[in-house]
Amino acid sequence: MAVTLAEWAEWMFAGGEQWTDWLPLSETEFARVPEGEGAYVVGIKDRAKIGRLLEDDPHSVIDIGESMQLRERLRDCVRCAGCKGQRGHMAGWRLGSFGLLERLGGKVDNLQFSYRKATSKEDAYRIEGQMLRVYFDIFGELPPLNYKFNWVTWIGE
């Protein structure tokens, strides 16, 4: 799925990709997130663009992930980002435990997310992989808090 920087900036994807608009990473919004599988993107709102290898990221995306329990996974991210030493979400833990969010000029209240519902764990993993590939193709690297990706899935493409 090829996406241009302009499409990324408008958060528009071809082929019927049904991502939500950007939402505050808050308890109010969690209640609206469906139970079950899905993929998510976490960014920092109201922040200058994050410089990446090839382009500046207008959404300041810091993590792309997937989960069998999307609502709980997003809650874990906020819980970990807001309190040093909390475990349960690697990107959130790194944000909170190392003060990365503060160093980026943000607070937990500045985190935002978008998600896409999936039909299964495998579908959520596939959607996450698509999004990581889109991000890599535009910016030349993965989001700063993504530490894993199955690069083998890209061989032969």
pLDDT tens, 25-62? Answer: 888 888 889 899 999 999 998 776 788 999 999 999 99
Write down the domain spans for the chain: 5-147
What average pLDDT does this structure show over 86-115? 87
Three-state secondary structure call for residue 27: helix
Question: What is the pLDDT confidence band of residue 118, given thresholds at 50, 70 and 90?
Answer: very high
Q: Does domain 5-147 have CATH number 3.40.1440?
A: yes
Average of per-residue pLDDT across 142-147? 90
CA atoms within 13 A on the CB side of 103: 7
Query: pTM of the entire structure?
Result: 0.89
**Is pLDDT larger for residue 138 or for residue 103?**
138
- Comparing 124 with 46, which gets the higher pLDDT? 124
Give the model's pLDDT for residue 155: 47
Q: Where are any strands of DSSP class E within the chain?
A: 23-24, 38-44, 50-51, 56-57, 61-67, 111-117
Question: What pLDDT score was predicted for residue 156?
Answer: 46
What percent of the chain stands above pLDDT 90?
46
Nearest to 115 by CA among 23, 51, 50: 23
Q: What percent of the chain stands above pLDDT 70? A: 90
Residue bearing the bigger pLDDT, 86 or 44: 44
What is the dihedral sign for C-alpha 60, 47, 5, 3? positive
* Longest CA span, the chain: 43
Residue 140's pLDDT is: 94
